[in-house]
Structure 1
Amino acid sequence: MSLSRTSNSRGAASPEVVGFYEKDTGSIQYVVIDPATKKAAVIDPVWNFDSRSAKTATTSADEIVAYVESRGLDVEWVLDTHPHADHMMASAYLKEKLGAEQGIGEKVLDIAELWSKLYNLPGVFDPRRDFDRLFADGDTFSIGSLEARVMLSPGHTLGSVTYVVGDAAFVHDTLMVPDSGTARADFPGGDAAVLYRSIQAILALPDDTRLFVGHDYGQGGRDPIWEASVAEQKLTNKHLKGGVSEAEYVKVREGRDATLPLPDRMLAALQVNLLGGRLPKPESDGNSYLKIPLNRF
């Protein structure tokens, strides 16, 4: 059983948020609940992948299914904030299990085009086929009686989005929790200056907005955490506090990124995630295979 925590609703138009921690990749999966209707959305679910044996498992996603069933929730959406580089996404699996619609930001079309060239797989990735909804910046949708709004938040990737649901915002890989700073911006399509501007737009939300991050790695040996308010981020985030300028931020971010290795699942995960969380079509022997570009990174 993974670590989980609940952030309670604060009243009308405020969701209950349950975060489930996936230890292998430091990822947090969210169940966002409208208490008034018991309608829900799942954000950034993980499809477990052992990079040594190339074996997949649905352990983390099945925990979500079990939780949803135990609460009698009706999941309307399975959402991703971006095509993740460090884990395969379980969105297609949960769409099938829960009967929900699958959504992501529309800039995934540009990400798919970029990576189709890196993998030399022209015509393979088709987000319009593999997702039910491609959200544009400013789009709204509902989770029960709650209104959700989409903010385009590029920088970590060129198509990352933030989902704002009442007084909660799911900020994926822009911000980390304050003692860990912010996310890297050196993947193809990433840009540290663009990330800084996306973060400033997020921090322009009301100070009491709950910000839920995509990852935590237990800085200094502490237990994983994944929630902080806008006010807390502005005051204490180690990359942003004190009114850091864009130029100062870019210098720190790019210097840090230059020291980081690629995530060990990245080249496998993106090939699956750009298919909406599905394996490539089986070949003549009935097995699926990944194509890994050599000497490109």
Structure 2
Amino acid sequence: MSTSFCFVPTCSFHLPISLSSFCCHIPGKVFFSVIIPSMLANQDEILIVGICRDVGEEIANDIRRLKESFSDFKKVYFYIIESDSKDNTVAILTDLSKEFSNFDFVSLGKVQPQIPDRWSRIAYLRNLCIAEFLKSEKYVHCNFVVVSDLDGVNRELTPSSVKAVFERSDWAACFANQSGHYYDIFALRHPTWSPDDCWKHEKVLRSRGVNPIRARELAVYKRQIKIRPNSNWIEVDSAFGGLGIYKREFLTNALYESRDSNDELVCEHVSFNKGVSRNGGRLFVVPAFINFKLNGHNHPMLKRKRAKRFVKLALWYLFPPSRKLFASQYL
């Protein structure tokens, strides 16, 4: 840390935590600058966790990109859990464990026969990752854990986008944004932007007679907004977006769950983030924390698909006999 300033006893300045540098010039009086190390510079170790299956083509690039993006930390650890792969994922993970000294992975073999439901299986594996972070002595000095998808969604992640998270300290969890439209509406909860489960909302709309095409547009696509990287942080009740950073102190008793009290499907991130909130934590989508631009959920080609849906919507209302043709596609 370096500091240079001219001190004027009658003046006092309170520097925002979010600033990594601050300067002030009063004509004819004083000029000073203070360079403050960011929150990131004070943290030595971080753990990156993820679960994977059949990602042999993507995972090596993902791991290298994550390691580079978090390179400002003194130590970057990886703990990856694999299951049920039919490709060369395990072989790639083995090679990575030889390439990186702090890279560990566990292959659980076939988990699907014991936990057939995909979402329950994902929640189970994510909980194993968090348990390892909280209980292993190896990671006791890691104050942060990164939860990452490992299917290529972090291809635009950079050290500068990671630094954006650490410009502030008043958070328990921060989540990635996309340079295209924000895509992860299933995990998102926000009082006005996305106050409920998008798929349940679509189901309710359809039960009230809304055309299935229109119901999908209202419940999902209209929530996939574009967030400029220079926008203010957005406080949320839940989010993910393929990448999240959590502080250790807020994770006690937080659990990933894929079913609610009525045994209905819910996004596993929602229950986990509720646990973080119960522990007093604040959660944010950080606009400058960019991890990618396009995937199958927010690609521009969807505009063409959506245009086709609107054509079908028009036919639905103008030509009732066509309803049988279209209805089955969206049930």
TM score, norm. by length of structure 2: 0.28
Higher strand share: 1
Higher helix share: 2
TM score, norm. by length of structure 1: 0.30
Answer with 1 or 2: which has the greater Rg.
2
